[in-house]
Amino acid sequence: MARMPLYDAAETVTSKSFGDLPEWDLGDLYPAPDSPELARDVEALEQAAQGFASRYENRLADLDAAGMLACIEEYQQIDILAGRIMSYAGLRYYQNTTDAGRAKLLSDLQNRVTDATTPLVFFSLEFNRISDADYEAVFTAADGPARYRPVFDRMRAMRPHQLSDELEKFLHDNSVVGAAAWNRLFDETTAGLEFDVDGETLGLEATLNLLTDHDRARREAGAKALAGVFSRNVKLFARIHNTLAKEKAIEDKWRKMPSPQHGRHLSNHVEPEVVEALRNAVTAAYPRLSHRYYTLKARWLGLDKLQVWDRNAPLPTETPKTIGWDEARATVLDAYAGFSPKLAELAEPFFDKGWIDAGVKPGKAPGAFAHPTVTTVHPYVMLNYLGKPRDVMTLAHELGHGVHQRLAAGQGELLASTPLTLAETASVFGEMLTFRALLAKTTDPAQRKALLAGKVEDMTNTVVRQIAFYDFECKLHAARAEGELTPDDINALWMSVQAESLGPVFEFMPGYETFWTYVPHFVHSPFYVYAYAFGDGLVNALYAAYEDGLPEFQSKYFDMLAAGGAKHHKELLAPFGLDASDPAFWDKGLSMIEGLIDELEALEG
């Protein structure tokens, strides 16, 4: 993996035309990879974990309320130390995954942190053996750890699936050569892929970006280049998925998990029937949403059938537009400020303090994310900014995550982390604010149509596509339980959900069956993808409440974000008069997408 993907000269020049794209300043974590501060913290982590274990192992059940509070707060400080170290190593690595030095630092620190934290494995295991009566007494006492109860309620939900101390320690130690190693192989492979498009050599991100090009021939060339490279590498990706799915199945069997998805639902603090209601509502709406919209799009493009490279194509009347970084920043911050000046103030430092890494660079990880690091520092946002309108929406999305993470940090390390089902709330809301602000300023009918269509496509990608992804994962894990899957087996599962979700207007080129290979969520976070659809549906319902003028909406919204993981989704949504366990809740969100399609059809008239 020493060879770096190449970018053509035109790509480099274009990226410069966006203005000064910011890069991360990781100095708030550590000054340098060889800094004494980093070495000191690694040693401090090792000593703190050993000291914690010697003080508390085999003693948790005997602690009184004040003693348990002190124990939990000491554990939280160790968590911050480990999180700070791994955040620094991970962020440096994602800036250039093909750099051998960065990969080595990540691997070495991962090993050191894993070894250092092995003595802590006892904590959750022993905690879950505390009797219900003692647990209740300690966590309801005035001088006790009552505020941390949501964390430990979730931990105790794992009690039926807990293994022996010895086995749990083995799994902890083994993780660096298990899923983590396969994750890293996937990341390094995708970062190193090169695609020949009309004589230009591009990386994955730049090639995927071609699928939104105005030139249909260029889109087709990009799609075929992707298909060719994915097909040549499909055996490796099939091996990664086979191994990870089997590893998960083995662990799930030992833990007596009733389904492959159950662990994700537990960690998300969401009931399986709520996820099933979401999934069923979306799949039932395919004809009313994606099938209907893509039929409209085929007519706009003058085509009887759409090819996969037409799915995210701009409209024919849409003027190609490159948006500079300064304009993107102003657009998002103005939209945020229109909702509340406080929202814009929370987002501002990301631009000014080196909290965003925006440029497309050789070896840089594809996609975009917001990483919370630890609550004593601040989040960092990664983008691959290419000046497209969708990139502005991605900026709005990731800044929403960043703002959410900043607000939730007040809860402290253990309570700040938001379950995945609610983690997309602020990001999708930020996108919606930006979209509505842009739409309100747009009077030209062609531009308005392009904006509406773009939003429908984003929502379709967030809801329809992600539920199709979820169904693919469910099928993949079920099939893997019956035996090893060939690349053709996995390809067939992928195509079954694509045809169902996209509808009859699509034709699928040879090679599209391999497009499951590059989706990182299947590798890094099994069954994560439904959280996007959950978040979109939740935000659509929230936004409807905002538009209806719900009293004190802004303050309620900030309270919800600041709660982090301290409350269940029922508690968080109650002030807005919403309940995700009500099957009708999801239809509210889906009806908003239908309403936008109605508006597009009206523009046709």
Query: Strand order of the sheet with strand 380-382?
Result: 356-357, 380-382, 369-371
pLDDT of residue 307: 96
pLDDT of residue 165: 79
Tell me how long the chain is: 605
* Both tokens assigned to 283: 């799949």
Q: How far apart are CA 123 and CA 79, in angstroms?
A: 12
Q: How far apart are CA 236 and CA 518, in angstroms?
A: 12
Q: Are 603 and 449 in contact (CB under 8 A)?
A: yes
Helix axes 325-339, 425-441, angle to 10 degrees: 100
Beta bridge partners of 163: none
Q: How far apart are CA 542 and CA 525, in angstroms?
A: 26
Q: How many CB atoms lie within 10 A of CB 594?
A: 16
The DSSP output letter for 130 is: S
**What single letter denotes the amino acid at residue 334?**
D
Q: Are 512 and 228 in contact (CB under 8 A)?
A: no
**What single letter denotes the amino acid at residue 401?**
H
**What single letter denotes the amino acid at residue 174?**
N
Q: How far apart are CA 82 and CA 44, in angstroms?
A: 10
Task: Show the low-confidence residues of the chain (pLDDT under 70).
Answer: 1-17, 318, 605
**What single letter denotes the amino acid at residue 278?**
L
pLDDT of residue 9: 27
The third-level CATH classification (topology) of the domain covering 31-177 is Butyryl-CoA Dehydrogenase, subunit A; domain 3 (1.20.140)
Q: How far apart are CA 145 and CA 593, in angstroms?
A: 43
Q: Are 255 and 265 in contact (CB under 8 A)?
A: no
Q: How far apart are CA 543 and CA 550, in angstroms?
A: 10
Half-sphere exposure of 187 (CA within 13 A, CB side): 22
Locate all alpha helices (DSSP H) within 142-233, ordered by sequence.
149-156, 165-174, 179-192, 204-209, 216-232
Q: Which residues of 316-330 are buried (b: 16+ CB within 10 A; e: fewer)?
A: eebeeeebebeebbe
Which secondary structure element, helix H or strand E, spans residue 371, and what is its range? strand 369-371
Distances (CA, A) of 593 to 209, 220, 429, 437: 24, 28, 14, 17
Nearby residues of 228 by Cβ (< 8 Å), 6 or more positions away = 195, 511
Record the pTM. 0.80
The DSSP output letter for 289 is: I
Q: Is 1.10.1370.40 the CATH number for 325-446+530-566?
A: yes
pLDDT digits (tens, 9 = 90+) for 196-209: 999 999 999 899 99
Among 268, 574, 534, residue whose Cα is nearest residue 418? 268
pLDDT of residue 526: 93
- Stretch(es) of the chain classified as CATH 1.10.1370.40: 325-446+530-566
pLDDT of residue 605: 55
Beta bridge partners of 370: 381
Q: If you write DSSP's letter for every residue of 381-424 in order, what string do you get?
A: EE----S-HHHHHHHHHHHHHHHHHHHHGGG-HHHHPPPHHHHT
**What single letter denotes the amino acid at residue 332?**
V
Q: Are 432 and 459 in contact (CB under 8 A)?
A: no
Distances (CA, A) of 601 to 226, 303, 335, 506: 33, 17, 27, 20
- State the burial class of residue 20 (Cβ atoms within 10 Å of its Cβ: 0-12, 13-18, 19+): exposed
Distances (CA, A) of 478 to 73, 281, 481: 41, 22, 5
Q: What angle do CA 420, 412, 534 make, to 5 degrees?
A: 15
Q: How far apart are CA 449 and CA 444, in angstroms?
A: 9
* Both tokens assigned to 148: 């941390």
Which residue has tokens 């992928």? Answer: 494
Q: Are 528 and 324 in contact (CB under 8 A)?
A: no
pLDDT of residue 182: 94
pLDDT of residue 174: 82
Among 216, 385, 394, 446, residue whose Cα is nearest residue 313? 216
Q: How far apart are CA 264 and CA 132, in angstroms?
A: 24
Q: How many CB atoms lie within 10 A of CB 453?
A: 22
pLDDT of residue 169: 82
Among 79, 105, 98, 100, residue whose Cα is nearest residue 26? 105
Separation of first and last alpha carbons in the chain: 54
pLDDT of residue 14: 42
pLDDT of residue 348: 98
* Both tokens assigned to 62: 């005997």
- Stretch(es) of the chain classified as CATH 1.20.140.70: 31-177
